[in-house]
């Protein structure tokens, strides 16, 4: 029987994965002490030498989720299990290098801690860091980056031109053929740590009346809103799809002005998370 532990913010997805694999999620108590410190206790500990899959996404509450993940991995290890971290949305993945001298290398910090805790491997979905699917070595940690792109695309019918909002979405969209990529021509301003771009769209690049605009992450929404607006101004029917819908602030409301529909997966739970990645994760676990 496959052993699965869910994270507090990933209970539903962990339940779905477990159901597909015919198991039950191991019970876990998560408490907060009055001073804010976390406490975790697994309700089943009889997994000597077995793999235990800890399914914990890292949004919302990235930092809280990380502590919960680290402590759960430790609890598995302390009880003789072999911890595998299943991280549907891998927060801090965008700080996948030191861009400016003096910055912390966030992704390296997280990978190093997971490795030090004895994590056997990480399974994640469309993580931004490697920008490519498949198996990777991340600072000595084995990471399997699975793609939800085809599943997300298949949610929509035929007759769409798939569009990436910028050149950076090329690797993410590489499982699909014939995608068109828009160009971020220049950075126009930065407010509240959010960049706003002017997107230059040449109509010859985007054929057809219906567009499926796809990105890996929608966070502040600046990238996708600019792209959707430009396409809408060309008279297109614009459907938007992303794997990880963080939808910060009023981004969903703003995006709705230009998008006819907005769909995300359940790596992060939101009103748009109608495409489940549970079967993709279950397949990876059972391989």
Q: Which is nearer to ligand R5P, 54 or 243 (CB)?
A: 243
Strands 183-191 and 180-181, by their bridges, are: unpaired
Q: What contacts 253, CB < 8 A, 6 or more positions away?
A: none
Name the minimum Å distance from CB 196 to ligand R5P.
Answer: 9
| 180 alpha carbon, distance to own chain's centre | 22
Contact set with ligand R5P (CB under 6 A) = 168-169, 215-224
Do 165 and 207 meet the contact criterion of CB atoms below 8 Å apart? no
280 phi/psi in degrees, rounded to 5: -70, -40
Name the minimum Å distance from CB 267 to ligand R5P.
Answer: 14
Q: What contacts 84, CB < 8 A, 6 or more positions away?
A: 51, 52, 53, 54, 119, 120, 121, 122, 123, 285
Q: Which is nearer to ligand R5P, 60 or 168 (CB)?
A: 168
CB atoms within 10 A of CB 282: 20
Name the minimum Å distance from CB 202 to ligand R5P.
Answer: 20
Residue of 16, 184, 236, 269 marked catalytic: 184
Q: How many residues does the chain have?
A: 287
Helix or strand or coil: residue 60?
Answer: coil
Q: What contacts 83, CB < 8 A, 6 or more positions away?
A: 51, 52, 54, 72, 73, 76, 77, 117, 118, 119, 120
CA distances from 197 to 178, 190, 200 (A): 24, 9, 9
187 annotated active-site: no
Q: Which is nearer to ligand R5P, 83 or 222 (CB)?
A: 222
Q: Which is nearer to ligand R5P, 123 or 224 (CB)?
A: 224
Name the minimum Å distance from CB 231 to ligand R5P.
Answer: 15
Name the minimum Å distance from CB 166 to ligand R5P.
Answer: 6
Q: Which is nearer to ligand R5P, 32 or 187 (CB)?
A: 187
Catalytic amino acids?
Answer: 184
């Amino acid at each position: 029987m496959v052993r699965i532990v869910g994270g507090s913010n990933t209970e539903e997805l962990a339940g779905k994965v477990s159901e597909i694999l015919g198991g039950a999620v191991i019970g876990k108590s998560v408490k907060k002490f009055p001073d804010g410190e976390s406490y975790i206790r697994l309700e089943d500990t009889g997994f000597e030498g077995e793999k235990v899959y800890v399914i914990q996404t890292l949004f919302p509450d990235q930092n809280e989720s990380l502590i919960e993940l680290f402590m759960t991995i430790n609890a598995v290890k302390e009880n003789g299990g072999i911890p595998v971290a299943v991280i549907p949305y891998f927060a801090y993945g965008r700080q996948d290098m030191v861009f400016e001298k003096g910055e912390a290398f966030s992704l390296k910090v997280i990978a190093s801690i997971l490795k030090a805790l004895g994590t056997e491997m990480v399974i994640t979905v469309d993580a931004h860091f490697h920008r490519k699917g498949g198996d990777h070595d991340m600072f000595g940690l084995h990471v399997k980056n699975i793609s939800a792109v085809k599943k997300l695309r298949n949610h929509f019918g035929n007759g769409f031109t798939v569009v990436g909002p910028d050149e950076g979405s090329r690797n993410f969209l590489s499982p699909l053929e014939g995608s068109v990529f828009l160009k971020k021509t220049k950075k126009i301003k930065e407010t509240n740590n959010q960049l706003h771009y002017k997107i230059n769209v040449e109509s010859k690049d985007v054929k057809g009346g219906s567009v499926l605009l796809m990105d890996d992450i929608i966070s502040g929404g600046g990238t996708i809103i600019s792209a959707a607006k430009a396409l809408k101004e060309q008279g297109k029917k614009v459907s938007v799809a992303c794997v990880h819908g963080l939808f910060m602030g009023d981004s969903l409301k703003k995006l709705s002005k230009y998008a006819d529909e907005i769909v995300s997966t359940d790596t992060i739970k939101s009103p748009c998370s109608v495409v489940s990645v549970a079967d993709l994760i279950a397949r990876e676990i059972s391989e």
